[in-house]
Amino acid sequence: MTDLNAIYVIVMRELKKFVREKSRLVSSIARPLIWLFLVGAGMSRLVSPRAGMPYTRFIFPGILGMTILFSSIFSSISIIWDKEFGFLKEILVAPVRRSSIVIGKSLSGTAVSAIQVFIVLMTFPVIGERLSFLQVLLTLLVGLLVAFSISSFGIVIATFYENYESFSVIMNFIIMPMFFLSGAMYPVKLLPSALRWASRLNPLTYGVDALKNTMFQAKAGPMSPDFSFSLDMLVIALSSAVFVLLASVFFERKQ
């Protein structure tokens, strides 16, 4: 019961912080919309429609993946901020298991991501996408699972840093490569072989591909999903378990 209370407190703390910071909410929604309507619209002039699919429609699942990536990583990286202000020490001395702290942080990142993903997903009629009610629910469910996996991954990263100034390193060498190697902007199958293998080690690749599987009706052609939906879900589930385990171990060492 104590562990459940700890998870509840951590999740509610992060949700309240997110809701109260209006500028954070606006900026987190503006980023994917800028990529979708500005970058996507500009690139659509250079990329001819393939398999009857406009480029803005193709990158829409990738934009959802971007929303999940940035919001989940930012939420989990708040651990670094908690280190500097001492809140993390208060959590670590509490009589709860370290796995409860990791799960609470991961769920808080998932909850924050869910809000942003839902808002961005509701713009699908603007780009000419047609989704059934079941597809919308399934897409949100997949987004939640991907967000939990990425949030857990972010916690693993945060355990290696002691100050917030190191965030630029995380941004340039972890987040952006993950995004560009995820198949969000172009199909993984069209990448050079070396980059294609690197993308297969990226957990976000399977998250974006799962979103494509839920949203795209056509399964053939160069713009189709790269993997099967079952493989995507298996990798997401396994990566989530591994990241939670690793983060729990690293937190134990900081005790």
Tell me the per-residue pLDDT of 158-199, one tens digit each, with 9 for 90 and over: 887 777 666 667 767 888 889 999 988 888 888 888 888 989
Closest among 139, 159, 131 to 68, alpha carbons compared: 139
- As a whole number, mean pLDDT of residues 17-29 equals 78
Integer angstrom CA distances of residue 81 from 103, 172, 216, 220: 18, 19, 39, 46
Q: How many domains does the chain have?
A: 1
**What 3-state class would DSSP assign to 50?**
strand
Of the chain, the percentage scoring pLDDT greater than 70 comes to 87
Q: How many CB atoms lie within 10 A of CB 15?
A: 16
Tell me the per-residue pLDDT of 96-119, one tens digit each, with 9 for 90 and over: 777 788 888 889 889 989 988 998
- Does the pLDDT value for residue 124 go beyond 70? yes
Residue 144's pLDDT band (cuts 50, 70, 90): very high
User: At 52, which amino acid appears?
Assistant: G
Handedness of CA 20, 94, 113, 185 (dihedral sign): positive
Residue range of the domain that includes 35 = 2-253
pLDDT, averaged across the chain: 82
| pLDDT for the residue 168 | 65
